[in-house]
Amino acid sequence: MKKLINDPGAVVADALAGVAAVHGDTLSVHRDPDYVTRADAPVAGKVAIVSGGGAGHEPLHTGFVGPGMLDAAAPGAIFTSPSVAQIYEAASAVATDAGVLFVVKNYTGDRLNFMMAAEMLAATGVPTASVLVNDDVAVEDSTHTAGRRGTGATLFVEKLAGAAAEAGAPLDEVKRIAEKVVENGRSMGLALTSSIVPHVVTPNFDIGEDEVEMVVGIHGEPGRNRTALVPASELVATLTDAVSTDLPFASGDRVLALTNGLGGTPLIELYVVAGELAAYCDARGITIERSLVGSYITSLEMAGCTITLVKADDELLELWDAPVSTAALRW
């Protein structure tokens, strides 16, 4: 194992120190407990959006803190849910009278800890609401979940709900937008290699040079099955068949698309995947209105990708195009 780290047990702390050094003008990094907020938080009269999860998926969620997206993020240890204290302190730091929306990926630890933190915050008189992201079409239950996992649609929930909140929408409206994205978003992924947790040293799973792990989890959970390594066009078709038939997506639909790298996949390969996804959708009369390509929800150094489609309308497209200014996403 070769990694650019100091101490395997201090990777998250050292990374947060780096975030503070680079983005200290726009972000505030808090320690003990660890969380990150917008530098201008709390923003009076605005619904605050709070998310978080295990580290190792960067830029999710810390990289999405800023105007037009999240107000705060709580990073746990690598592949480990943030504590109740982290989530509660993060939310308390950004809460306003307009309320707080918690964006929660469907992993058991996240669900439990965010629920407890939300109850604690509500007990102080702050209006709260939560939305559960569960867009992974391939797995109903896995190592970390009961039900479908939360994956690529998380980015769209945070961006679109964040835009609504930035525009001054009330809590119930921001929650409606977030739930609309969850209802209309589907994802699936594959891995060519495993991730390696720094303090564990060994890969989460072994895979041959000529094998592909289908429907892999972002915590390094093994997938549902393995297949032979075939051309990207065939792999993309397998992923997108599953995604498009689940909602389903049909001819005439307009979509937002994410071709997401899992940490170790070169951008040139992601654009190969994005091109195949575009061809797939075009052949079926599905219009990709907006497309995002890059490594946004990762699993350390895992080579692989996920594909996410969100059925879009004019409302969601307007929110997608609204300004955003975060470390990882800005326009």
Convert the pLDDT of each residue in 74-104 to its tens digit: 999 999 999 999 999 999 999 999 999 999 9
Q: Give residue 174's pLDDT band: very low, low, confident or very high (50, 70, 90).
A: very high
Domain range list for the chain: 8-184, 185-321
Residues 45-64 pLDDT 10s: 999 999 999 999 999 999 99
Q: How many CB atoms lie within 10 A of CB 304?
A: 27
- Answer yes or no: CATH 3.30.1180.20 is held by domain 185-321: yes
Q: Can you give the pLDDT at residue 221?
A: 66
Pairing, β 48-55 against β 100-105: parallel
pTM of the predicted protein model: 0.95
As beta bridge partners, residue 38 has: 27
**Token pair of 265, please?**
């996949």
Q: Could you give the CA distance from residue 115 to residue 172 in angstroms, rounded to a whole number?
A: 18
Catalytic site residue 30?
no
Does pLDDT of 16 surpass 60? yes
Pairing, β 48-55 against β 72-78: parallel
23, 57, 61, 144: the catalytic one is 57
The CA R_g of the chain, rounded to the nearest whole Å, is 19
Catalytic site residue 219?
yes
Structure-model confidence comparison of residues 206 and 251, the more confident one? 251
- Please compute the mean of the pLDDT values over residues 139-163 and round it to a whole number: 81
As beta bridge partners, residue 53 has: 75
CATH architecture for residues 8-184: 3-Layer(aba) Sandwich (3.40)
Does pLDDT of 146 surpass 70? no
Does a cis peptide bond (omega within 30 degrees of 0) precede residue 170?
no
**In Å, how far are 85, 91, 160 from 81, measured between CA atoms?**
11, 16, 24
Q: Can you give the pLDDT at residue 219?
A: 65
23, 61, 144, 219: the catalytic one is 219
Q: Can you give the pLDDT at residue 208?
A: 82
Q: Could you give the CA distance from residue 103 to residue 202 in angstroms, rounded to a whole number?
A: 31
Domains 8-184 and 185-321 share a fold: no
